[in-house]
Structure 1
Amino acid sequence: MQEVSKNKLVYLLFLLVFMGLAPARAQVYEISLLTCSPGEELYSSFGHSAIRVRQVEPAGQDVVFNYGTFDFSAPNFYGKFTMGQLDDYYLSVTTFPNFLREYDYYQRDVREQVLDLSEDQQRRIVEYLWTEAEPSRRFYSYEFFFNNCATKIRDAFEAALGEQLSWDETVKEEEKTFRNLIDEYVYPLPWADFGIDLALGSVIDRDATEREEQFLPDYMEAAFAKATIQGDGPSRPLVKASRTVLEYPKSEFEMGLVNPYYLMWGVAILFMLLTVIGHKKKRLFLGFDLGLFAILGLLGLLLAFLWFFTDHAATKWNWNLLWAFPGHLALVYGLAKKRFEPWVKKYLLFALILADAAVVFWILGWQSFHPSLIPLLLVIILRTNYLYYNLGGRSLARG
């Protein structure tokens, strides 16, 4: 009888141990960084990053934590975006198959880096992500360079792992400005490239540090590949395996005929011809100047609004205002009057100086302008010069 009781006790002990270990086995995960190739639309042209958490057991969860979720239909979405106050981005959670379905549809590559984390580190990461995904915490204020879908992932791992996560901060072989980094991705979208260079100021023309480059998913992927785990035994690489989940043939880029480069050179040739013909026939052709400076003035109003009246950090100190100046609208008013007032010639000289200053700022590297602006700056210098010396001449017709 006593032997039977001992056997029951041993059996009960093993049962309790088994039951205690079962939850521990259920909490073993495979955690990985997903990096998605750029898409064809501007909002997807820089690629994407997400975190995959796969529960290692039969029928275990396989989910993706996505910091790049937003809703165009959210109240005042476009107004907040314009003002730089976009707080409608949020951390969403979806299944891995659902996540892949979108990238398979748009034929975008998806690469995966499996991370070499201990069970305790996995638990901390998972707990942190589920806490961040709570409805009261999942929204965040989006900022393109410093708080986006990639940097939020880096911040999540740093918050969960602390000093155990070590980034490789060796000196880079090649320094790149924020504008250089953007250009690598928007070159296939010439009008988007032009618009970004127009709207963003000289603040993005400084060299980005290794850490700051991680706002781009590809650079985040490279940073993970060089990172190490320390403090819980021998130092080891953060990434233990890399694999390609989706891969598609790369399409060759061909710039269409309707692009800023052809357009600006077309405008330049037109105004050069008008100036030569006008000089020979003693005509001003002011109608073309009215259109030119009206467009430049309206652009100037937009740039001034982005600089002084929004919270966008990247639109500050934008020296495109030297050539696209709001005051050009006053010049349009002055040129449209039947009788030219003395201030019009003074303003033409002022506009000429501003355009020359833009060229100087560009040469000195204080701000990098879009290359297609070269012919436009030549046009502004040409026409302000021509009008300054010929405006008011009695032998010249207004045109």
Structure 2
Amino acid sequence: MTKKILSLLFFIQFLISYAQQSPISESTKISIITIGLGDEVHSLYGHTALRIQDYKTNMDLVYNYGMFDFSTENFVAKFAKGDLQYYAAAYPYVDFEYSYREDNRSIYEQVLNLSILEKQNLFDKLNTSLLPENTFYTYKFIDRNCTTKVIDIVNEVLENKPIIKKNTNTSTYREVLFPYASNHFYEQLGINIIFGQKVDNQATTIFLPLDLYDNLQTISYKNKPLVSETNIVFEANRATPVSYLDSIYSLIAILLLFVILNKKATYIIYFSFLGLIGLLFSFMSIYSFHKELFWNYNILLFNPLFLLLVFFIIKNNTKWIKKLSLISLLFIGIYCLCMIGKIHFIIVLPIVVATSIILFRFVLKKQN
């Protein structure tokens, strides 16, 4: 979830060698660092890292499990497929903090209340995770990311794995994610229509940085708070962006244009666009390893059959236009039933209404 490649191989090798020679001292502090939200797609949900700090030995390092390389060959295809390799890196904390201050993103620190033995075990495991055979991992949006990696490695050295989700309720993963993109309408729309059934399951695990931050504040370990100290390192002064171009109002305006124009050419464009999105969703359900993309009922609205409908519109085949329109309306009806109670229904509703109006026009159109 961080955008800068700050890792150097020689520094990692030095760090591992240093770790073997320099044990943790009583003054060592180990903290979980939470980074606030950004405006880019990959930064909408924040970031998590670990900090090891010891003033006596002048050690102040961050262990970052959210590293990825934009220059990776076939980066987009690998990310979409779900086999993009993220990696762990350790580097000076000052560089880490500086980069997020520059991005105007908040930085919060939670110092863990650990024994010296637990600190040493955690430090050893962190450095083991930097070895060439361990550093890379396959990123998964919910199941394996910078936050879950930090939770896993800390839980490994603590008794009974105390870091678990405490603020559980009936919220789904989709409902937990939804507010994060509230000021980025088209990102919010895109994220919600590409996700399938899995994100509608109850959110029972911690996978987001701010959720981890909230849970850590309530977790006890050995009859004492797991977090001994919470610091606001940097509080970003972020203005909420307001743009009608990036809002549901612009979507409604575009859809109204297609409905009002009532032209063959615009219908071809409209249904080609919806059909191609549906075709992409169908392909991703088969191609991708991301379980979040499986069983995507949004295909009922973004229907690949629209491409066939476009073919008959071009051919002026009223008979098949009517048949496909009725079938598509049936699918939209089923879609609406699936969407009852789902938080993203409101943002797709303009598409449902506009598409239904046009399809009803086709059904009612007199045959030539």
Same fold (TM over 0.5): yes
Instruction: Name 1:96's counterpart in structure 2.
Output: 93
Q: Which runs of 5+ in 1 are unaligned?
A: 1-21, 276-284, 394-399
The answer on 1:265 being equivalent to 2:262 is no
The answer on 1:145 being equivalent to 2:146 is no
TM-score (norm 1): 0.82
Moved more, 119-128 or 153-162: 153-162
Taking structure 1 as reference, are residues 273 and 237 closer, same or farther at Cα in structure 2, changes over 3 Å only? same
Secondary structure of 1:371's partner? helix
Following TM superposition, by how much is the alpha carbon of 1:370 offset from its aligned partner in structure 2, in angstroms?
A: 4.8
Taking structure 1 as reference, are residues 346 and 25 closer, same or farther at Cα in structure 2, changes over 3 Å only? closer
**Segments ≥4 residues shifted beyond 6 Å:** 22-25
- The one-letter code of the counterpart of 1:166 is P
Secondary structure of 2:244's partner? coil
The answer on 1:318 being equivalent to 2:296 is yes
- The one-letter code of the counterpart of 2:249 is Y
> Given the alignment, which residue of 325, 328, 344 partners 2:306?
328
Following TM superposition, by how much is the alpha carbon of 1:308 offset from its aligned partner in structure 2, in angstroms?
A: 2.0
Following TM superposition, by how much is the alpha carbon of 1:187 offset from its aligned partner in structure 2, in angstroms?
A: 1.0
> Given the alignment, which residue of 169, 175, 179 partners 1:180?
175
Instruction: Name 1:166's counterpart in structure 2.
Output: 162
| Cα displacement string for residues 183-213 of structure 1 (whole angstroms, at most 9, x for unaligned residues) | 121111111101101111122112211xx1x
- The one-letter code of the counterpart of 1:98 is D
Contact 2:181 2:187 in 1 (8 A): yes
Taking structure 1 as reference, are residues 101 and 297 closer, same or farther at Cα in structure 2, changes over 3 Å only? same
> Given the alignment, which residue of 234, 258, 264 partners 1:286?
264
Taking structure 1 as reference, are residues 236 and 333 closer, same or farther at Cα in structure 2, changes over 3 Å only? same
Rounded to whole Å, the distance in 2 between the matches of 1:297 and 1:94 is: 47
Contact 1:167 1:226 in 2 (8 A): no
Rounded to whole Å, the distance in 2 between the matches of 1:113 and 1:49 is: 11
TM-score (norm 2): 0.88
Rounded to whole Å, the distance in 2 between the matches of 1:287 and 1:248 is: 48
The answer on 1:306 being equivalent to 2:302 is no
Rounded to whole Å, the distance in 1 between the matches of 2:292 and 2:110 is: 31
Contact 1:205 1:368 in 2 (8 A): no
Taking structure 1 as reference, are residues 169 and 388 closer, same or farther at Cα in structure 2, changes over 3 Å only? closer
Instruction: Name 2:124's counterpart in structure 1.
Output: 127
Contact 1:197 1:370 in 2 (8 A): no
Rounded to whole Å, the distance in 2 between the matches of 1:23 and 1:301 is: 56
- The one-letter code of the counterpart of 2:270 is L
Following TM superposition, by how much is the alpha carbon of 1:117 offset from its aligned partner in structure 2, in angstroms?
A: 0.9
> Given the alignment, which residue of 111, 115, 132 partners 1:114?
111
> Given the alignment, which residue of 71, 74, 91 partners 1:73?
71
- The one-letter code of the counterpart of 2:224 is R
Rounded to whole Å, the distance in 2 between the matches of 1:327 and 1:25 is: 63
Aligned-residue CA RMSD (Å): 2.2
Following TM superposition, by how much is the alpha carbon of 1:171 offset from its aligned partner in structure 2, in angstroms?
A: 6.5
Rounded to whole Å, the distance in 2 between the matches of 1:341 and 1:192 is: 37
Report which of the two structures shows the higher radius of gyration computed on alpha carbons. Answer: 1
Rounded to whole Å, the distance in 2 between the matches of 1:265 and 1:245 is: 42
The answer on 1:351 being equivalent to 2:350 is no
Contact 1:268 1:378 in 2 (8 A): no
Q: Percent identity?
A: 28
Secondary structure of 1:112's partner? strand
Q: Which runs of 5+ in 2 are unaligned?
A: 1-20
How many residue pairs get aligned? The number is 348
The answer on 1:31 being equivalent to 2:30 is yes
Instruction: Name 1:195's counterpart in structure 2.
Output: 190
